[in-house]
Amino acid sequence: MQSAAWLPVAFEVTLLVGALAVLLVAVVAGRSRDVWGPVAGIAFAASALMGVWQWIDVETNGGGLFFSSDNFSIVRSPMVVMDSFSALAAVVLGAVGFVAFLSSWDLQAQLGKRAAEFSALMLLAVAGLHMMTATPNLVVIFIGLETASIAFYVLAGFTRKTEGSDESALKYFMLGSLASALFLYGVALTFAATGSLTLYGVNSIRNFFSGQLITEPGILLVGLALMLVGLMFKVSAAPFHQWAPDVYQGAPAGAVGVMAAGVKVAGFAALARIFLGGMISQIDAWAPILAVIAALSMVVGTVMALVQDDVKRMLAYSGVAHAGYILTTIVAGVPGLEAMWFYLATYAFMIVGAFAVVSAVNGPGSGAAPIASLKGLARRSPETAWLMAILMLGMSGMPFFAGFVGKVLAFVAVAEAGYLWLVIIGTLTTVIGLVFYLRIVATMFSRDGDATDESTESESLSVSLPTRFAIVIAAVVTFFFGVVPWPLLDVVRSALPF
């Protein structure tokens, strides 16, 4: 396979070259986004195509393990893996990154000369996210995690004049750094206990678990717990979610979409590769812990979302609940991977589309976004209101939308694994969650209000073409895969992390 030397890292290379090209074009040809903007958009689109190419190559030639950290064979110490799992992650992250870039178009207009740096950071962040999914090496996972995290810390505070932007960036940086340190310390302890940093291969963690009797598991258990805490923070699962509402509210609306969607995709993919790929033999030990975190996330996220008056904070807490739903698929073991990928692929578009609407209504650089700001949106911009309604119904899990299919797949998988109580909690929180999603829909189509409100509502809302395109793509994905889920299901069934 002649392409094996570069194709496994083609996604990252494409985005890295795109980021450098954006900065160079901005310096040489001018800082107008009309000059370098297409370069960034092409880089995101090309990265998704690289994911498709990887998928075709894996289906044709089988993929494999590549590159080495030492002089041993790549089978002993693989650093990069190209399989259907990483290829699917590339397609999803590339496509979501492209849609998020379109939704940030108005924000880039406000940033002026600094907009090129903003786009370059988005490209580098997505490259780091995919690095987390395309390696069986724990250190490389950490490098990818930090590459994305550092970029997101900057993006969160990019609009320094917005109230709360600096605070959200600082809070994200402080807590995110703590989570990263815990993950790295967990990696060190896991290496001390197993003698390996690699999930697959000859001297791997998976072979360690399957071939040895663990008589003193203390260090190993602490290491696994610390890695789990680090990843749970990144995906904003309870009780490690406290950063999300404040960061989402303070960060510019045009930047939150890629932060919310990309981290979920990469974080859960890395979690699945670690626990289902490298530690599947110990599922009876770690699955109950994940089940408790999943239940807590669903309950806390749903209850807290009910009392929010800010759209961005509501979406943050609903994201905590969705993290719980996705965790149930990992609790279910390998049979839950189909549900995990379907849920991640569709939810990522929903959340990016929802924040694109928030950006269009409240301004791309806005911090706070009161739910009342959506009042009368159906009269100001009927198309935007209906598209947002589709996204909200999809997140709520209503039938005929992708969220419903994702939840059904997750609940069926975890029920077959013997966690019926988790299905009951998930069903109850889904029903309760209808309240805050339908509240958004009702507000958009509301006709109540005083004279001042009616005057404001009578003003038409102008949505830029790139932002409108991003919202349309998200809504189409939400509705199409809710009615016709089989094309996506046929793809995700073969996306296994081993």
- The reported pLDDT for the residue numbered 33 is 67
Phi, psi of 399 (to 5 degrees): -60, 155
Q: What is the pLDDT of residues 454-491, one digit of tens each?
A: 444 557 888 889 999 999 999 999 999 999 999 999 99
Give the pLDDT confidence of 31-51 residue by residue, as tens digits.
666 777 888 999 999 999 999
In this model, does residue 231 exceed pLDDT 50? yes
Mean pLDDT of 432-454: 78
Q: Is residue 239 part of a domain?
A: yes
> Is residue 68 over pLDDT 60?
no
Q: Is the peptide bond before 239 cis (omega within 30 degrees of 0)?
A: yes
Report yes or no on 28 lying in a domain: yes
Q: Rounded distance, CA 364 to CA 108, Å?
A: 9
- Reported as half-sphere exposure (CB side, CA atoms, 13 A), residue 179 has a value of 26
Residue 487's SS3 state is: helix
Report the distance separating Cα 382 and Cα 497, nearest Å: 43
Average pLDDT over residues 218-222: 85
DSSP state of 241: -
Vertex 51 angle, CA 227 and 261, to 5°: 50
pLDDT at 256 over 60: yes
pLDDT the model gives residue 1: 41
Tell me which residue has tokens 């690289």. 50
The SS3 assignment for 28 reads helix
- Which residues of 3-63 form beta strands (DSSP E)? none
Calpha distance 188→138 (Å, rounded): 9
| Confidence check: pLDDT of 86 > 50 | yes
Domain-located, residue 497: no
Say whether pLDDT at 362 is over 60. Answer: yes
Centroid of chain to Cα 411? 21
Domains contained in the chain, number: 1
Residue 43 lies in a domain: yes
CB proximity list for 34: less than 8 A, separation 6 or greater: none
pTM over 0.85: yes
Query: Is residue 498 in a domain?
Result: no
Q: Give yes or no for residue 76 having a pLDDT over 60.
A: no
Lowest mean pLDDT, pick from 144-153, 315-324, 361-370, 479-488: 361-370
297 band by pLDDT with thresholds 50, 70 and 90: very high
Weakest mean pLDDT among 2-6, 235-239, 430-434: 2-6
Model pLDDT, residue 354: 95
Between CA 120 and CA 152 the distance in angstroms is 12
| pLDDT given at position 455 | 44
Section 421-441 average pLDDT: 95
Question: Sorting pLDDT into bands at 50, 70 and 90, what band is 497?
Answer: low
Question: Residues 497, 89, 91, 395: is their CA dihedral positive or negative?
Answer: positive
Distance CA 219, CA 198 (A): 17
pLDDT bin (cut points 50, 70, 90) of residue 3 is very low
Which tens digits make up the pLDDT trace of 15-27? 999 999 999 888 8
Helix or strand (DSSP H, E) at 80: strand 78-82
Which among 383, 371, 403, 367 has a CA at the least distance from the CA of 479? 403
Domain encompassing residue 139 = 2-492
**What gap in Å lies between CA 17 and CA 178, rounded to an integer?**
30
Which of 154-168, 221-235, 356-370 is predicted least confidently?
Answer: 154-168
pLDDT of residue 261: 93
Three-point CA angle 177, 178, 180, nearest 5° = 65
Work out the mean pLDDT of the chain and round it to a whole number. 87
Q: Which of 9-18, 23-32, 192-201 has the lowest mean pLDDT?
A: 23-32
Bridge partners for 310 per DSSP: 370
What per-residue confidence (pLDDT) applies to 236?
92
The number of C-alpha atoms within 13 Å of 232 and in the hemisphere containing its C-beta is: 25
264-273 residue pLDDT tens:
999 999 999 9
Helical H segments across 363-416, by residue range: 377-380, 382-396, 402-416
Assess contact for 458 and 338: CB atoms under 8 A: no
Do the domain assignments include residue 185? yes
Taking 50 as the threshold, does the pLDDT of residue 132 lie above it?
yes
Query: CB atoms < 10 A from the CB of 459, how many?
Result: 10
